[in-house]
Structure 1
Amino acid sequence: MAPPPQPKQLVLAASSADAGVAAWDLRTGAEDIRLRPCASRPRSLASVADRFLASAQALPAGGNSGTIHFYYWDKPQVAVKSFPAEPIRALIADQEGSYLIGGGSNGNIFLWEVSSGELLHTWHAHYRAVRCLGLYDYLLVSGSEDGTIKVWDLITVLDEQSRLEVQTPYLYSFSQHALPVTDIACFLGAIAISSSEDRTCKIWSLSEGRMLRSISFPTSIDSIALDPRSHIFYAGGRDGKIYVTAMGVDLSFHGRDESSILGALDDHSKAVTSLASSRDGLLLVSGSEDGNVRVWDTRCQQVTRKFKHSQGPVTNVLIVTPQRVNLPPLQPLRKVRSANGEAERQAVLLHRPENDVPIPGNKTFIFMERYLDELQVI
């Protein structure tokens, strides 16, 4: 009996120019579909549990409001348009595709329920624009143009009683970066890595709330991706190189470490704006301001495929396995919360990585017990 066919994996690439989202078959290299229109800034393209694609649109010249587009995999045009209260600079979805989170140009964060489009909560997070977002279980990590990183407990954020019980709305605030934060990635073991225009990547413990390591580079770093097989990450430089970097297994060490750079992948002529690693860590996809997309074999560190997106810079790359399922009609995202305030009563259920470390102060079970008690009273 012949083995079942492997699900198709696609490489997606978007540009800040209105050239659409290009998609190529990762195995054959054939172009699959081009979703139009789309002009997205870095960190503003998100696959929602691989069921559909969401993209926050770059602000047009002279404009003061942006849109978020939803796309189905089998239709080249926009399926749903939403108009948030402010332009969205960063976009991320949880693993289950239940929630979509956007970071705004004015420093606000918006959290929507995907199925209803309901705006569950919005809060002011940073003094300047939110440039990137990362998720680890129920923790949201935000990085800003103001150089700060904040860690948010979404259980506390969404529960009014919990918000009244804490001194600050965030769990941790880090200010060790000297210039804007450009990307954030979260790793098993409650580890987060941030990149910055200050030519460093910093490694953080989300369980201890401290910086573990600062790694210096010869150039500003615009993008990062993790190798799920080991404590290695890739840092996309403004000089066109991708730096292969060791996180360091001795996480009790804290301080500066410039000896962690193991090598560099070099095939772009301009800044590497976006990186994506396959789930098995064997492939790495890079996008650059030179308009090119590269697929790398991480074992031999060689380019296996080359794609050309458009005349404009590539701002986002993703690796997805489209789930072509019959979805209920997608709902536009609300600009403001419902007047009756019922949105705040929604429970947030986020995927917890298996065999991972606990986070001190986990309020998940407390919140869920309180939420279920309230439902029984109604």
Structure 2
Amino acid sequence: MGATIGFNQPVESAAAPAAADGDVEMSSNVEKLSAEVDNIISSTHQALSSTRKKRKPAPGYTNAEHVKSFIQQTTVPSLHATKPAGITALDVSMDGNLAVTGGADKTVHVYDFTSGKTLATLKGHTKPVKQVALIEQDGAGRLAVSCSADKTVKVWSEGADGGKWSLQHNLTGHKGEVSGFTVHPSKRLVAAASTDQTWSLYDLANGETVKTYDPLEGQEGSFAYTSFAGHPDGILHAGGTDDGNVRIWDIRDASALAASLQSHSNPVTSLSFSENGYYLASSSNADPTVKIFDLRKLTVLTSWQLPAENKINEVRFDTSAQFLTVVGTDARVYANKTWDELVKFDDNAGDLTGARFVDLGRKLVLSGMDRTLRVLAAPQ
């Protein structure tokens, strides 16, 4: 396992210019980012990393005892088309009122829980949607981002005052399917990875490619990405590959990996950084094992296996750094640090594909291949 993250450093300071004892110095940039983009990344990182250690869950955020009581409260059936059927991707606004879903039917839906209506059906992808994200911008309209096996990333924008949604950017350039993306915490950039062994950084304002990160010569193993995730401070980006590796990059440096982790013996199909920045969860849909890496030591902190018949489609830390959701054959919620199982939900008619804690963690929204959104919460 090669690495350039300092073994004894917190992840947010991993790219310090001078190496301490036991650390390995980062390589220098070969194709530098523009001054504007570098400033966006550096200022965002500085602002977020300086408060991360002291950050606590938002006032009123749910706790483990509350989550243990979660049961299914409501369902939203019959979303997306029946042929082919299935919600393949999910994101939900922090207040829990708006959901963005991607489907096997190649469309993206915007659903309003308050009115109980689908506000938009966005068409343009030519193959099933792999991932979606909702971007809520201060003082500006909301954006939805989607990627697909059709090799594109699309950015959709909401009209003024909640008007009609429309395509804003069609991001192309990859020769293989786009397997995942992550929105930078500045909300001004998006990074997307592909099975063509590259990942790219895009400018959300103009839709232009900022930089493309190619596979490195002399590096053993594959760079064909099957999943992708970004560190909450915006510097580190991780791509899971088809041979079970996790490639961790410093977004400012295209010349060397920050770390390379051996995760699974099968393609890594889901990755998630914890909000505290120290952990990385990984899974494969061909292996019912969850692994948690400690990024300060670049070792597996813990791992556990679900029943052999279980399939895992997504692992995801919540924004309070308290919980990890694991969905696939069923849905499970684990407590961060102790990794105790708090909730198991299996009253679903098809594989589950996504889970999002919303409304200060008081609700958990699930999406599934049975074309249904489910909302779990404590009994009223």
TM-score (norm: length of structure 1): 0.64
Aligned AA (1:188): E
Structure 1 residues 281 and 210, CA gap change in structure 2 (3 angstroms): same
Once the two structures are TM-superposed, the CA of residue 229 in structure 1 deviates from its matched residue by 4.2
Structure 1 residues 109 and 25, CA gap change in structure 2 (3 angstroms): same
Structure-2 residue corresponding to 1:296: 376
Once the two structures are TM-superposed, the CA of residue 69 in structure 1 deviates from its matched residue by 2.2
Deviations for 1:71-90, whole angstroms, at most 9, x for unmatched residues? Answer: 11233443332322323221
Tell me whether 1:55 sits opposite 2:140 in the alignment. no
User: In 2, are the aligned partners of 1:201 and 1:214 still within 8 Å (CA)?
Assistant: yes
2:104 to 5, 8, 16: 16
Structure-1 residue corresponding to 2:269: 182
User: In 2, are the aligned partners of 1:16 and 1:39 still within 8 Å (CA)?
Assistant: no
Q: Please, which runs of 5 or more residues in structure 1 have no aligned partner?
A: 1-5, 60-65, 158-162, 164-168, 250-258, 303-378
2:249 to 152, 159, 170: 152
For residue 253 of structure 2, give the secondary structure of its aligned residue in structure 1: helix
Tell me whether 1:31 sits opposite 2:118 in the alignment. yes
User: In 1, are the aligned partners of 2:130 and 2:179 still within 8 Å (CA)?
Assistant: yes
Structure-1 residue corresponding to 2:171: 82
Structure-2 residue corresponding to 1:172: 259
Structure-2 residue corresponding to 1:132: 227
For residue 72 of structure 1, give the secondary structure of its aligned residue in structure 2: strand
Once the two structures are TM-superposed, the CA of residue 271 in structure 1 deviates from its matched residue by 1.5
1:224 to 315, 330, 343: 315
For residue 106 of structure 1, give the secondary structure of its aligned residue in structure 2: coil
For residue 360 of structure 2, give the secondary structure of its aligned residue in structure 1: coil
- Identity of matched residues, %: 21
1:67 to 152, 169, 183: 152
Structure 1 residues 277 and 40, CA gap change in structure 2 (3 angstroms): farther
Structure 1 residues 227 and 115, CA gap change in structure 2 (3 angstroms): closer
Tell me whether 1:196 sits opposite 2:291 in the alignment. no
Once the two structures are TM-superposed, the CA of residue 127 in structure 1 deviates from its matched residue by 2.0
Deviations for 1:55-100, whole angstroms, at most 9, x for unmatched residues? Answer: 22333xxxxxx33322112334433323223232212211222211
Structure-1 residue corresponding to 2:201: 111
1:198-347 correspondence runs (5 A): 198-218=287-307, 219-229=310-320, 231-237=322-328, 239=329, 241-249=330-338, 260-278=340-358, 280-297=360-377, 299-300=378-379
Structure 1 residues 85 and 225, CA gap change in structure 2 (3 angstroms): closer
Structure-2 residue corresponding to 1:368: none
Aligned AA (1:285): V
Q: Distance in 1 between matches of 2:152 and 2:342?
A: 41
Aligned AA (2:227): C
Deviations for 1:300-330, whole angstroms, at most 9, x for unmatched residues? Answer: 5x9xxxxxxxxxxxxxxxxxxxxxxxxxxxx
User: In 2, are the aligned partners of 1:90 and 1:104 still within 8 Å (CA)?
Assistant: yes
User: In 2, are the aligned partners of 1:14 and 1:40 still within 8 Å (CA)?
Assistant: no
Once the two structures are TM-superposed, the CA of residue 263 in structure 1 deviates from its matched residue by 3.5
- After the TM superposition, which of the residue ranges 223-232 and 170-179 deviates more from structure 2? 223-232
Once the two structures are TM-superposed, the CA of residue 15 in structure 1 deviates from its matched residue by 0.4
Structure 1 residues 42 and 242, CA gap change in structure 2 (3 angstroms): farther
Once the two structures are TM-superposed, the CA of residue 242 in structure 1 deviates from its matched residue by 0.2
Once the two structures are TM-superposed, the CA of residue 202 in structure 1 deviates from its matched residue by 0.9
Q: Distance in 2 between matches of 1:105 and 1:118?
A: 20
CA RMSD of aligned residues (A): 2.6
Once the two structures are TM-superposed, the CA of residue 43 in structure 1 deviates from its matched residue by 4.6
Q: Distance in 1 between matches of 2:319 and 2:190?
A: 24
User: In 2, are the aligned partners of 1:232 and 1:247 still within 8 Å (CA)?
Assistant: yes
Once the two structures are TM-superposed, the CA of residue 199 in structure 1 deviates from its matched residue by 0.9
Once the two structures are TM-superposed, the CA of residue 203 in structure 1 deviates from its matched residue by 1.0
Aligned AA (1:13): T
For residue 152 of structure 1, give the secondary structure of its aligned residue in structure 2: strand
Q: Distance in 2 between matches of 1:124 and 1:14?
A: 28
Q: Distance in 2 between matches of 1:279 and 1:153?
A: 32
User: In 2, are the aligned partners of 1:141 and 1:151 still within 8 Å (CA)?
Assistant: yes
2:191 to 101, 104, 113: 101
Structure-1 residue corresponding to 2:240: 143
Aligned AA (1:175): Q
Q: Please, which runs of 5 or more residues in structure 2 have no aligned partner?
A: 1-93, 216-220
Deviations for 1:257-307, whole angstroms, at most 9, x for unmatched residues? Answer: xx833331122222112222226222222111222221221x45x9xxxxx
Deviations for 1:128-147, whole angstroms, at most 9, x for unmatched residues? Answer: 53222211121111112221
